Amino acid sequence: MTLAKAIVLTGNGTNCEIEAAHACRLAGFDEVKIAHISELLYGEVRLDDFHFLNLTGGFLDGDDLGSAKAQANRLKNARITGTNEHLIDQILRFIKDGKLILGVCNGFQLMVKMGLLPALDGTYLNQSATLTFNDCGRFQDRWVYMKCDAASPSVFTKGISGGIYLPIRHGEGKFLVESQEVLDKIEALHLSVLKYSDSDFSAPTMEFPLNPNGSTNAIAGLCDESGRLMGLMPHPEAFLHRTNHPRWTRESLPEEGDGLILFRNAVEYIRSNLL
């Protein structure tokens, strides 16, 4: 394979697939496939043929059993029709092959609840954290500043100076961990790559609405130790052009939005390491 290929998974309530695919194309992916989950479950599309898996935002199964819970259960248990292969086998192979997964919002919730993040010591499928109801008790659509940890292993955030500014749109974004030990490890390994902060990106904050959900240690985004799996509550695919910015008519901004860098880093990593 010489082409950089991204796949965006949809179905059962995912709803940011168009803009996620657009972000991948803008970033330079040669091929971008929006695949309905049924195409994977029927064996018509295989994850093995791609380098970058996008688990995008939405309301998987209406978040009826808690955000993304039903999809986590589906991805763990569903079988590829007519075979003995489980979809989860493809996902684990995808990770083992050194490929990239980015989970945004509902996709981040999914990764955490499947145990793909933080997956300390590489123990994938072992859930050790969760995302639950915002402290304010309500869904919120507002923009947030996130300080980026430059020492993080995340391949998606390379080159971000200070932080980034993106919208959140969720009711269940409060990050909680199983134990203090898990949290300590996350922090020690610099896995908490993005934290809600003030507008200068100077320090993480617990203050509403800068921190819109009351997340532990203001954690907005998280990666695994390999840096190739990352999830975040804010939506990078929602800020690709300056006209997405809430104050673009009064501030002078670059043409390109803050969200694009994550996708650019993905394609660059793939070109350098996987092709």
User: Measured between alpha carbons, how far is 56 from 58 in angstroms, rounded to an integer?
Assistant: 7
Task: CB nearer to another protein: give 155 or 238.
Answer: 238
Judged by CB under 8 A, the number of residues near another protein is 63
Q: Is 202 in the site for another protein (CB under 8 A)?
A: no
Beta bridge partners of 8: 34, 54
Q: Is 176 in the site for another protein (CB under 8 A)?
A: yes
- SS3 assignment, position 46: coil
Residue 256 CB partners (closer than 8 Å, separation 6+): 240, 241, 242
Q: DSSP state, 63?
A: G
Of residues 114 through 173, those in contact with another protein by CB under 8 A are 127-130, 132-143, 167, 169
Distances (CA, A) of 33 to 7, 37, 58, 129, 204: 5, 12, 18, 30, 36
Cβ atoms within 10 Å of 188's Cβ, excluding its own:
8
Q: Near another protein by CB under 8 A, which window of 90-98, 148-156, 239-247, 262-270?
A: 239-247
Q: Is 65 in the site for another protein (CB under 8 A)?
A: yes
* Interhelix angle 87-96/69-77, nearest 10 degrees: 90
Spell out, one character per residue from 75 to 114, where the chain touches another protein: x when CB under 8 A holds, - when not: -xxxx---------------------------------x-
Catalytic residue from among 24, 51, 237, 245: 237
Tell which one of 33, 36, 46, 185 touches another protein (CB under 8 A): 36
Tell which one of 6, 8, 9, 19 touches another protein (CB under 8 A): 19
Whether residue 235 lies in the annotated active site? yes
Q: Is 215 in the site for another protein (CB under 8 A)?
A: no
What b-and-e string marks burial along 201-227, b requiring 16 or more CB atoms within 10 Å of the CB? beebbeeeebbbbbbebbbbbbbbbeb
Whether residue 105 lies in the annotated active site? yes
- SS3 assignment, position 231: strand
Query: For the CA atoms of the chain, what is the radius of gyration?
Result: 17
Catalytic residue from among 105, 172, 223, 245: 105
Residues of this chain that bind another protein (CB under 8 A): 10-16, 18-19, 22, 36, 38, 42, 57-59, 61-66, 69-70, 72-74, 76-79, 113, 127-130, 132-143, 167, 169, 176-178, 235, 237-238, 240, 243-244, 246-247, 249-250
